[in-house]
Structure 1
Amino acid sequence: MFATLMGTWWAWVILGFALGVLEVLAPGFIFLGFAIGAVVTGVLVGIGVSAGPAALILIFAVVSVLAWLVLRRVVGVREGQVKVWDRDINDQP
């Protein structure tokens, strides 16, 4: 049953939208790469790319990592966003 569900395009697209909603609830571009990977995998299955469950998971993983790296490069950590502390509050003067 699970392998059959993985072979349907709409299951991947629904997973992508669910991960997109999860990204809205927990912002930080953590789940957005996975959402993009799931939607792209769904589109590939929808246009007729014939692959087994292991190949679909591999496609999902590779596209997700690439999407995450692109998102990290485009909207990643900006200059001045991270504070570097020079001394600890517990240090004695």
Structure 2
Amino acid sequence: MEYWQQGWVWVVAGVVLGVLEMLIPGFVFLGFAIGAVVVGALIWIGVLGHYVPLTLLIFAAISVLSWLVLRRIMGVRHGQTKVWDRDINDN
């Protein structure tokens, strides 16, 4: 059995991505971490794991969906973006 077919590999990858999100905050790795853990759980219960493209497609879809849901729930922090009202080259 290949490594990508084992659920624990996906769960460990999700935990590593979650730790990476805590070390390098940027709200990027959290969606990937959730996607990896969910795919690991789906492999453990026997839904996925035999077909690599389908597994990667479901991982990508769950990652994007979880990122969008978290972004919607958490929102954008105040002061996260700077809006410029004038250019420094204007005289």
Give CA-to-partner distance per residue, 1:31-72, whole Å, 9 cap, x none: 000000000000000011143111111110110010011011
Structure 1 length-normalised TM? 0.85
Which runs of structure 1 show a deviation greater than 6 angstroms over 4 or more consecutive aligned residues? none
1:21 to 13, 19, 25: 19
1:47-86 equivalent positions in 2, closer than 5 A: 47-50=45-48, 51-78=50-77, 81-86=80-85
Give CA-to-partner distance per residue, 1:6-55, whole Å, 9 cap, x none: 10000000000010011011112100000000000000000111431111
Q: Which secondary structure state, in structure 2, belongs to the residue aligned with residue 68 of structure 1?
A: helix
Query: What stretches of structure 2 of length at least 5 have no aligned partner?
Result: none
What residue identity is the alignment partner of 1:82? T
Structure 2 length-normalised TM? 0.87
Displacement of 1:91: 3.7
Query: What stretches of structure 1 of length at least 5 have no aligned partner?
Result: none
Task: State how many pairs are aligned.
Answer: 90
In structure 1, what is the Cα distance between the partners aligned to 2:80 and 2:58?
A: 33
Q: Which residue number corresponds to residue 37 of structure 1?
A: 35
Q: Which residue number corresponds to residue 86 of structure 2?
A: 87
